[in-house]
């Protein structure tokens, strides 16, 4: 990416009007990003980026880099990708990435549990204390879960959600933690044994999800994209609604 940007800058010095081709890291987080089984990524994030980001002044065609969530963040840090959508903020990430000024989306978090479980009517965080919980690898473990002494089982791979549900059904874990409620609800529609499970929103404050940028992206491009995305939160919600009906 660094060499590519050098060539673009050199071209501009010569008077060529070349647009910056952005590389966007995408990972499976349906319906925001649908990667599994797709020749091309789909979902509300992809629709949003094509509608707004690709048409921004001085921005060229978008390149999608489908991979796992953990690898998306690694490639963002090294500058192999320019931006990644739907990332929660914590202190460590703020040191290595540049966050947007405003979250693109806010969501409730949830637990997926068996319908016969005592957690099937989740009204207090105390019900979660000391449980064995499955969780996507590299995703943030909220402080409120750490405070409850839960044992977290990181799950890797693009199919982490369904692997977590299988672990739940085999009683290897007590619950599966889904940071994004809309993702859990959407994925449960596709799960063969969904009738045996229930999605329980956690009684906590909403989780803010941001677009994050590589620190290798120049300041002018970052400021332009940040302003564009921040001004179109409502548009993103409308696009997402097309997948939730």
Q: What is the pLDDT of residue 216?
A: 95
Distance CA 205, CA 109 (A): 9
Domain tally, the chain: 2
Q: What pLDDT score was predicted for residue 18?
A: 65
Residue 29: domain span: 2-105+208-244
| 128 and 169 housed in the same domain | yes
Question: pTM here?
Answer: 0.84
Structure tokens belonging to residue 9: 């800058």
Q: How far apart are CA 108 and CA 202, in angstroms?
A: 7
Band (pLDDT 50/70/90 cuts) for residue 159 is confident
Q: Are 64 and 24 in contact (CB under 8 A)?
A: yes
Q: What is the token pair recorded at 83? A: 């931006």
* Residue 154 and residue 176 in one domain: yes
Contact yes or no for 123/111 (Cβ under 8 A):
no
Q: What is the CATH number of the domain that holds 176?
A: 3.40.190.10
Residues 36, 121, single domain; the answer is no
- The 10s digit of each residue's pLDDT in 72-120 is 999 999 999 999 999 999 999 999 999 999 999 999 999 999 999 999 9
Do 230 and 118 lie in a common domain? no
Which band of pLDDT confidence, cut at 50, 70 and 90, is reported for residue 8? very low
224 and 166 within one domain: no
CA pair distance 179, 161, nearest whole angstrom: 11
């Amino acid at each position: 990416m660094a060499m590519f940007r050098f060539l673009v800058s050199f071209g501009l010095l010569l008077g060529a009007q070349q647009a910056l081709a952005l590389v966007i890291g995408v990972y499976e987080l349906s319906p925001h990003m649908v990667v599994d089984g797709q020749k091309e990524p789909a979902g509300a994030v992809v629709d949003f980026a094509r509608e707004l980001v690709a048409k921004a002044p001085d921005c060229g065609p978008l390149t999608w880099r489908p991979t796992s969530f953990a690898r998306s963040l690694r490639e963002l840090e090294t500058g192999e990708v320019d931006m990644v959508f739907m990332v929660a903020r914590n202190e460590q990430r703020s040191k290595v990435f540049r966050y947007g000024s405003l979250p693109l989306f806010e969501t409730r978090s949830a637990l997926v549990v068996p319908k016969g479980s005592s957690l099937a009517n989740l009204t207090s965080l105390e019900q979660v204390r000391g449980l064995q919980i499955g969780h996507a690898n590299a995703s943030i473990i909220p402080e409120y879960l750490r405070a409850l002494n839960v044992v977290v089982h990181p799950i890797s791979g693009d199919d982490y959600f369904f692997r977590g549900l299988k672990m739940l059904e085999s009683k290897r874990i007590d619950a599966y933690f889904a940071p994004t409620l809309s993702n859990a609800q959407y994925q449960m529609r596709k799960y063969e044994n969904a009738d045996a499970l229930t999605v329980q929103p956690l009684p906590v404050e909403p989780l803010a999800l941001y677009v994050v940028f590589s620190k290798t992206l120049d300041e002018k491009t970052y400021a332009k994209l940040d302003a564009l995305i921040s001004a179109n939160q409502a548009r993103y919600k409308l696009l997402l609604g097309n997948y939730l009906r």
